[in-house]
Structure 1
Amino acid sequence: MSTFNRLRPTLRATSNLSRIHSQHVVRALGGGRLASTHALVFLEHSNGVVEPASLSALAAASKLGSGDDAKITGIVIGSKDEVEKVLPTVKKLPGLSSVLHSSSALYSPPLPETLTPLFKSVLTDSKFTHFFSAHSSAAKSILPRVAAVMDLPAVSDVTSVEHSSTDDATTFTRPIYAGNAIATVRAGKDIPLKIVTVRATSFAPLSDGASAEGVEVKEFQAVEENAELTKHLETSVSTSDRPDLGTAKKVVSGGRALKNKETFQKTLEPLAEVLGAAVGASRAAVDAGYADNSLQVGQTGKIVAPELYMAIGISGAIQHLAGMKDSKMIVAINKDPDAPIFQVADVGLVGDLYDIVPELTEKLK
């Protein structure tokens, strides 16, 4: 049980493929030179509120630079009522020089088949150099499709952005091998449009509150293609009084050691209640039916980075660590002193969770 400084091993690929050093995997996508950047940011929203992850994508776009040589346009899509409801908020977002919006009943809810033609039209008709979005469930389906139909590469789940005004190259970093290595990807002038999804936990969201003056608002005509390809039947949303797992400042997660769904809820929910925390789960717990799939934390689940992450009865498989090891404070409770989770924990307690968690809950009350 030792504190781990969480420095991830990395690799560097060189021109000599037989030589691999321990820094970064570097893939060159092109080279060139330049002058200015103009980024388009896909702003997802719900009930008139811009999603926090989209604010992180806006923050990532702002890393391209500032002033006249670096402009950012936000794009809002949905039904007419949805767009009208969120536009006043969008116009106040800092960093935006303009806002595009397009409304159609076909765009609510957003589907890859219906939004791809719209994005292709917007990006073809305009001189955008970058297209940013959060690495959300919707964007993970939409942006790769947009990149494919435009015959362009895409960079997904980026954790840093750096743009060079001297050669018009943008350098990104992104985790690979379940977060055990960091790939550095350089997209140069050869690629006229860089299509990027952003890991929300790596960029502090930009909050609203800026003046709406000077922000140009323009409507883009809806492109209603592929309407018959896919039909939205139903949206099923689980509701909870607790914070959303993806944005919560505190998370209590449980693993396979919690035996069954009843025990999982009985053990974790009182602790989460007293902490005001969201509840998460490992993939093993989800696969065993202890928790809903929406609560899964890990490589194939949600990526979280709360101020406090409590891992209870979680061994610490590499796939789970990939989803939470950037948390500010990690607390692990496990009866196995050799569990991998203790390698990344800031605080570790070896013992029976069925004794420790109820006692901890009572003392926190």
Structure 2
Amino acid sequence: MAILVLAEHDNDTLKAETAKTVAAAKAIGGETHVLVIGHQCDKVASTAQTLSGVTKVLFVDSAEYQAQLAENLSNVLVDIAADYEYILAAASTTGKDVLPRVAALLDVAQLSEVVEVISSDTFVRPVYAGNALATVQSHDDKKVMTVRGSAFDAVANDGSAELMTLSYSTAATTEFVSQELTVSERPELASAGVIVSGGRGMGNGENFVMLEQLADKLGAAVGASRAAVDAGFVPNDMQVGQTGKIVAPDLYIAVGISGAIQHLAGMKDSKIIVAINKDPEAPIFQVADYGLEADLFKVLPELIESL
């Protein structure tokens, strides 16, 4: 039984989600290979070789894969799918873009956001915005799965997998034009150990400066609720929730966030949740480990000054 894991990276650094997806592969059992596709990403392939439980790293390096477009990546995955019973990727923006295409091309049903492996064909995944868990069994010959990284602990970096270089030329007609990236010295939201998030209660985007100051004191990432993003306070790459990023930091501080189901689905697995809200009936207090009923515009400056 062979398992293929699609590596998540930016052509320079292997994302932590890959190590967590490998952990899910180990839970399934069988020989695990990691596929690294990109351009000038030798460092990524080398890091993938160290992942515990990985026996082989397949390396495709070409300028046409620098942008890692879903149309291009899916062609490579389908071409080598014959050798694998399982194809896994993190339930990130990349995984959610690539694997549905792979599943459609292979004519199988995709298993989305798996959070637990029961057996080689039975898995648990959240439904109804995470308010319920469904145990599903797949009878497909090939199982295409996205894995929710927050549900698995990353494997160690004590392996020494074999490196195999492959040569592929995509037949896709999609062409990369440009991209705009948010540059920040703070930790990446999806892998941060501490996250400070703001909601509509912040009032406007300028007030997010207070959250940034608090985050800098704590070495944290800054997130936001969908309401704050929809209101134009912050860009959508900061969104935490069902339609944003799924996070599970050691500490999650929710400021001015009411706690709608959509948001809770993205952060309720956090180890410790602290809520600051002036509304005592806010649903966020039901999941918070610590709650402070107060005016955030008075509390935040005091908190920042005290740290």
Aligned twin of 1:23: none
Secondary structure of 2:189's match?
coil
Matched, 1:356 2:299: yes
Name the count of aligned residue pairs.
307
- Secondary structure at the aligned position of 2:54 is classed as coil
* Amino acid of the structure 2 residue aligned with 1:55: A
Q: When the two structures are superposed, what TM-score results if normalisation uses the length of structure 1?
A: 0.81
| Aligned amino acid, residue 242 of structure 1 | R
Q: Say whether 1:221 aligns with 2:167.
A: yes
Residue 45 of structure 1: aligned partner: 9
- Corresponding letter in the other structure for 1:254: G
Q: 1:45 aligns to what SS in structure 2?
A: coil
Shift, 1:178, TM fit: 0.7
Secondary structure of the structure 2 residue equivalent to 1:49: coil
SS across alignment from 1:243? coil
Note if 1:240 corresponds to 2:240.
no
| TM-score for both structures, normalised by structure 2 | 0.96
Matched, 1:204 2:183: no
Cα separation, partners in 2 of 1:103 and 1:270, compared to 1, 3 Å:
closer
Deviations along 1:17-56, one digit per CA (max 9) or x if unpaired, are: xxxxxxxxxxxxxxxxxxxx21011112234321111111
Structure 1 residue runs of 5 or longer lacking an equivalent are 1-36, 164-168
RMSD: 1.4
Which string of whole-angstrom CA distances, capped at 9 and with x for unpartnered residues, describes residues 43-80 of structure 1? 12234321111111111100023xxxx2111111112x
- Distance across 2 between alignment mates of 1:279 and 1:88: 30
Instruction: Answer 1 or 2: higher relative contact order, Cα 8 Å, separation at least 6.
Output: 1
Q: Out of 315, 326, 332, which is 2:275 matched to?
A: 332
Separation of aligned partners in 2, 1:263 and 1:74: 43
1:3 equivalent in structure 2: none
Please state how far the C-alpha of 1:270 moved relative to its aligned partner. Answer: 1.8
Q: Give the 5 Å matches for 1:203-352.
A: 203-210=152-159, 212=160, 215-226=161-172, 229-265=173-209, 267-352=210-295
State the identity %.
Answer: 47
Aligned AA (1:38): A
Q: Tell me if structure 2 keeps the 8 A contact 1:117–1:223.
A: no
CA contact (8 A) 1:54 1:134 kept: yes
Question: Which consecutive unaligned segments of at least 5 residues does structure 2 have?
Answer: none
Q: Which has the higher helix share?
A: 2
Deviations 1:257-310 (A, max 9, x none): 111111222x21221121111111111111111111111111111111111111
2-structure distance, mates of 1:297, 1:336: 21
Report the secondary structure of 1:342's partner residue.
helix
Amino acid at match of 1:156: S
Q: Which runs of 4+ in 1 moved over 4 A?
A: none
The AA in structure 1 aligned to 2:299 is I
